Amino acid sequence: MGDKKIFATPQDVENAFYEALECGDLDLMMSIWADDEEIVCVHPGGSRLLGYASIREAWKQIFDHGNRLEVAISQLKTVSTPFAVMHSVLEQIRIRNKSDVMAPVAATNLYVRGSMGWRMVSHHASPVPPLPTETPDDTPKVLH
Amino acid sequence: MGDKKIFATPQDVENAFYEALECGDLDLMMSIWADDEEIVCVHPGGSRLLGYASIREAWKQIFDHGNRLEVAISQLKTVSTPFAVMHSVLEQIRIRNKSDVMAPVAATNLYVRGSMGWRMVSHHASPVPPLPTETPDDTPKVLH
């Protein structure tokens, strides 16, 4: 895989993650993940993917499909500890050159600090009801 | 909220979380969450819930609805750091007294260690496609 970037902060990793997603850049995408069997990726509506090789293969398929995406990130919430930082964000994903905004997605991103700086270890993304939704009487439709 | 339990390990928190879910025990459920504005809960198909009060209200509505659930957990994957531990699991949720197993759910659970022991800070659950392979040796691992 050649050179690995060093990311000094979780936000740097997250910026690179969404840049790779928008550009369809597989090398950049895979540079932000920890090279580990325990990493986890759940795409909206997709299966849970485990480990670097499976996660790479899924991104490759997504990027090979060819649609270029625009992703707007909002409403960042953060939980920080010395060696692990969680970012919870809302994503508004749009296929470039199409006006339809796809359903908003909630993403939980987890970053861990190792000897090579910060890396993503988990990305869990799933569709949420259309915004605005942050009102108390917006009853979630839930299975449990 | 009265007395708060002390949880010595992330697995203790997770066990209590799923016990509370099965029993519909709101006090137990809320005892496992960090009492914080930054905590996040995404129920399958639901909106992203932020903060202790919103998360409590959603669980109250779920438990008031009255269905008793059985939840089988499998395929635990763990990322551990000194003050934060992630558990990724698959949930098979069944409404008690009904034979239909609902769609499997992937859950990403994040626990943080504070002065009062370990607490949940994030639960992100979303439906995943039915599993092609569930083998008996994918049973949950005991961490401690």
pLDDT per residue as tens digits for the range A75-94: 999 999 999 999 999 999 88
Rounded to two decimals, the pTM is 0.88
Domain containing A82 equals 10-127
Q: How far apart are CA B95 and CA B1, in angstroms?
A: 29
Residue A72, domain member (yes or no)? yes
Residue A107: pLDDT over 50 = yes
Q: Alpha carbon A37 to chain centroid distance?
A: 18
pLDDT per residue as tens digits for the range B37-90: 999 999 999 999 999 999 999 999 999 987 788 999 999 999 999 999 999 999
To the nearest whole number, what is the mean pLDDT of chain A? 88
Residue A103, domain member (yes or no)? yes
Q: Above pLDDT 70, what percent of chain A?
A: 87
**Smallest Cβ distance to B110: which of A50, A110, A128?**
A110
Residue B15, domain member (yes or no)? yes
Q: Which residue does chain B place closest to A47, by CA atoms?
A: B128
State the sign of the Cα–Cα–Cα–Cα dihedral B31, B32, B38, B39. Answer: negative
B86:A84 CB<8 A: yes
Residue B73, domain member (yes or no)? yes
Q: Work out the minimum CA distance from B129 to partner chain A, whole angstroms.
A: 6
Element (H, E) at A14: helix A10-23
Residue A54, domain member (yes or no)? yes
Domain count, chain A: 1
Q: Which of residues 42-81 of A touch B (CB under 8 A)?
A: 42, 44-48, 50, 75, 77-79, 81
Contact residues for A88 (Cβ-Cβ < 8 A; gap 6+): A76, A77, A78, A106, A107, A108, A109, B40, B48, B122, B124
CATH number at residue A93: 3.10.450.50
Residue B5, domain member (yes or no)? no
Residue B35, domain member (yes or no)? yes
Residue B3, domain member (yes or no)? no
